[in-house]
Amino acid sequence: MKHTKGPWRCTKYPGVFSINSAGGRQIAVMTEHHGDTPLTPMHQFERSEQDKADADLISAAPELLEALELILKDFDGDWKHYEQAKRAVSKARGEGES
């Protein structure tokens, strides 16, 4: 596993979203767009193989969510991870604990 191990937590501040790992590693920061000023990171980070793996995982999140939602929609059996999957979908939609 090259990406940062979860769980990850998104903390929302005025104009800023900070994603941090349980170990305290900051994974991503996004700032609010102000007029014609482009989005800029709050901090400068050295790009690493782990950063690339984290970015790949984050960018795959919409497809992962969609696939999981389809599985849950068609679920009709006894699956021991069903509740875990429901919590993950809820978190991804911003409905659960972030």
* Overall domain count for the chain: 1
Q: Is residue 19 part of a domain?
A: yes
Domain extent, residue 57, equals 8-92
CA distance 65 to 10: 17
Q: Is residue 65 part of a domain?
A: yes
**pLDDT averaged over 10-residue windows placed end to end, the chain, 98 residues:** 84 81 80 56 62 82 86 78 82 69
pTM comes to: 0.62
Q: Is residue 98 part of a domain?
A: no
| pLDDT score, position 34 | 55
**What are the C-alpha distances in Å from 71 to residues 45, 60, 80?**
37, 17, 14
